[in-house]
Amino acid sequence: MTAAATDPATPARQIGETLIDVDRLKVHFPILSGIFQRESGRVRAVDDISFEIRKGETLGLVGESGCGKSTTGRAVIRLRNPTAGTVRFDGHDLMDLSRGELRKMRRRMQIIFQDPYSSLNPRMTVGSIISEPLETHDLAAGKARIERVRELLALVGLNPNYTDRYPHEFSGGQRQRIGVARALAVEPEFIVCDEPISALDVSIQAQVLNLLVELREKFGLTYLFIAHDLSVVRHISDRVAVMYLGKLVELGPPSAIYDAPGHPYTRALLSAVPIPDPKAERRRKRVILTGDVPSPANPPDGCRFHPRCWLYERLGRPEQCRTEDPELRTVATDHRAACHFAEEALQSDIGVAHMATDKVRHGTPQSATAGLAAEHAAEASAAAAALDDSGTGSPNEPSAEV
Ligand SMILES: Nc1ncnc2c1ncn2[C@@H]1O[C@H](COP(=O)(O)OP(=O)(O)OP(=O)(O)O)[C@@H](O)[C@H]1O
Ligand code: SF4
Ligand SMILES: [Mg+2]
């Protein structure tokens, strides 16, 4: 599937044809047991998902822990082999490539990991860490390589003279900048950002997010940006994909996902996003997700979300939800949802009533930083409001639960 669109907020940034086409991707992990280590089951980490990432766009991918986000990110750049399905990068099926061809292709796609502490080799200097990909791909040698490393350090906001230092001499935010420099060394077109700010102090999350957005603008990069919650990806994503238990349940532009979501799970996730205005916080209708996420080794029949779905309960537990796995289908222009009753979900005001009036410019560094600052202010103000308000209890307790 292809589409051409221009982000209205950033006219210089063009979003073009499909760069990555993921078709019916499955990644299953065998569960081995007994002394002969026989396969006794499978963890269906990613279970038949299809989506595309367009040239120049940032696709946000969100969902609860263990839903398969990282496995998807790794499979998309073939750091993990799929069990079934295809991933095409710029028209090339990644599974069909020879080792040499894959090596060449790897130059075009990179990954930034969540944990800046474990993702850098503690025994290597920063210079060697950033030089490694230059060496692997024969991109620069000798003095030119040293100069390129200095240039990359400066590009990510670090002192170019730090090449002889070791990772432990840097803070978490600085280490993540080193990870970004390493990814940029080979001049990639596409980067999987796997929760690049989750492990960082709140005070520096916005700086790193800002850096990623600035680099995207400067080099026309395409990102798959993975995060736990919807608030982080809101201001930087051109489209957002929501994942639940190995499946994609919704995919669309921020205007759809944040203002008019068509999947009950997305509405439940939005319910957990703090609002800067304590009065609006008390007024809004929220759903609290109850029960644990089922095991991906034994997912529920039918719609995987049905044991936790508020709409299923509200509709009188329709049989279709228990027996038929809903397809990700188009519910509005460029907006897909995997729910048999997406039209009912679209009509609901649960989780989003607070979002509609607050227009933001998606995709700019300013909005990314402002967004994070607003989240933190919202959390602080909701906590303060709860302390002032003797009747309301915990700031997370809903005033209008559904
Ligand atoms: N190498 C592996 N072997 C077996 N199971 C795995 C492996 N990697 C991941 N899994 C399982 O696959 C499922 C999806 O894991 P994944 O790391 O992709 O989730 P995630 O959404 O990235 O979670 P988180 O938000 O915690 O990072 C989990 O149940 C996980 O335990
Ligand atoms: S298909 Fe049924 S159970 Fe699944 S999300 Fe929709 S209403 Fe809920
Ligand atoms: Mg992960």
Residues composing the chain:
402
Q: Spell out a b/e string for 174-195, using b for 16 or more CB atoms within 10 Å of the CB, else e.
A: bbbbbbbbbbbbbebbbbbbbb
Give ∠ CA 198-202-205 in degrees, rounded to 5: 60
Choice from 266, 304, 309, 325 to test ligand 2 binding pocket (greatest atom count within 8 A of CB): 309
Choice from 47, 62, 69, 298 to test ligand 1 binding pocket (greatest atom count within 8 A of CB): 69
Kind and range of the H or E run holding 63: none
Give the HSE-up count for residue 312: Cα atoms under 13 Å, Cβ half-sphere. 21
Q: Ligand 1 within 6 A of 67 CB?
A: yes
Reduced to 3 states, what is the DSSP secondary structure of residue 89?
strand
Q: Ligand 1 within 6 A of 73 CB?
A: no
Task: Write down the pLDDT at residue 36.
Answer: 86
Residues 6+ away with beta carbon under 8 Å from 185:
130, 131, 133, 134, 139, 148, 149, 152
- Per-residue pLDDT of the chain in tens (402 residues, 90 and over written 9): 333 344 444 445 788 899 999 999 999 999 998 888 898 899 999 999 999 999 999 999 999 999 999 999 999 999 999 999 999 999 999 999 999 999 999 999 999 998 888 889 999 999 999 999 999 998 988 999 999 999 999 999 999 999 999 999 999 999 999 999 999 999 999 999 999 998 888 888 999 999 999 999 999 999 999 998 898 898 899 999 999 999 999 999 999 999 999 999 999 999 888 777 777 777 778 888 878 889 999 999 999 999 999 999 999 999 999 999 999 999 999 999 999 999 999 999 888 754 444 444 344 555 555 555 555 555 555 444 433 333 332 322 222 333
Task: Write down the pLDDT at residue 272.
Answer: 83
Task: Write down the pLDDT at residue 59.
Answer: 98
Alpha carbon 321 to chain centroid, angstroms: 27
Task: Write down the pLDDT at residue 373.
Answer: 55
Which atom of ligand 1 is the closest one to the Cα of 71? 18
Task: Write down the pLDDT at residue 203.
Answer: 83
Maximum Cα–Cα distance for the chain, whole Å? Answer: 70
Task: Write down the pLDDT at residue 314.
Answer: 95
Q: Ligand 1 within 6 A of 66 CB?
A: yes
Amino acid at 203: S
Cα torsion at 259, 260, 265, 267 (round to 10°)? 50
C-alpha of residue 343 to centroid of ligand 3, in Å: 31
Kind and range of the H or E run holding 380: helix 365-388
Strand-pair partners of 54: 18
Task: Write down the pLDDT at residue 390.
Answer: 34
C-alpha of residue 341 to centroid of ligand 2, in Å: 6
Cβ < 6 Å from ligand 2: which residues? 264, 303, 305-306, 309, 311-312, 321, 326, 339-341
CA pair distance 273, 284, nearest whole angstrom: 11
Task: Write down the pLDDT at residue 144.
Answer: 94
List the residue whose alpha carbon is closest to atom 5 of ligand 2. 339
Pick the CATH number of 5-32+42-257 from 3.40.640.10, 3.40.50.1000, 1.10.3720.10, 3.40.50.300: 3.40.50.300
CATH 3.40.50.300 domain extents, the chain: 5-32+42-257
pTM, two decimals, is 0.86
